[in-house]
Structure 1
């Protein structure tokens, strides 16, 4: 089994999280900033935590948490765009990345679950 650092989905999620932190650093709405950066950070963190667990069932659970966080992040991006905190071009790019991460996680979850069947 690969290390989490070798997973393309973890790499993409970690990059997106870093981008969110950099872009939101100056935002004065601390509640929104903290929520969106936490959702972004939760994705690669849950992937990593899952891959450090002992069983495929645990791995799949944490990958599901990561996928849920990707949905939460997309929601916050949409809202951030609507209220003017996130430029539309930046938001569209982040939405595409978050959707891609979600699809990758879906495939990885299916793969892990098939090992336990």
Structure 2
């Protein structure tokens, strides 16, 4: 998709902060290793991965499809963070910080989708 890399996209850079999820899940109970911990980590990794994959596809339509998947993973991540907070695995401060980051990323993804849709619909 053009001459620049997916690494140049601010939304990709923003979503690469998945490492915060990894750091915070280290303190989760051991019994959650294959449960909520794993789910959170997979969702966090899926977001920048789908942005990158979509960006390298052949068409704007395909890129939009992968951005949609990234948004789905973001919704999963947000739900899982809320569950972790509810189960008292995350402090309110850490949860709030990550949830704000998910909102920021969602806004950026929707903005990119809007731009790409406008590009698709222009003559």
TM-score under structure 2 length normalisation: 0.90
Calculate the aligned-residue CA RMSD, in Å: 1.0
Shift of 1:25: 2.5
> Are 2:9 and 1:7 aligned?
yes
- Partner residue in 1 for 2:78: 74
Q: Is the 8 A contact 2:12 2:48 kept in 1?
A: yes
Within 5 Å, which residues of 2 pair with 1:1-117? 1=2, 2-15=4-17, 17-27=18-28, 28=30, 29-30=32-33, 31-117=35-121
Which whole-Å deviations, capped at 9, do the CAs of 1:60-95 have from their partners, x for residues lacking one?
000111011111111111110010111110000000
Greater alpha carbon shift after TM alignment, 65-74 vs 23-32: 23-32
TM-score under structure 1 length normalisation: 0.95
Partners in 1 of 2:27 and 2:104 — Cα distance?
Answer: 27
Shift of 1:26: 4.1
Q: SS at the partner of 1:46?
A: helix
Shift of 1:22: 1.7
Q: SS at the partner of 2:88?
A: coil
Moved >4 Å (runs of 4+): none
Flag the structure with larger Rg: 2
Question: Any stretches of 5+ residues in structure 1 without a counterpart?
Answer: none
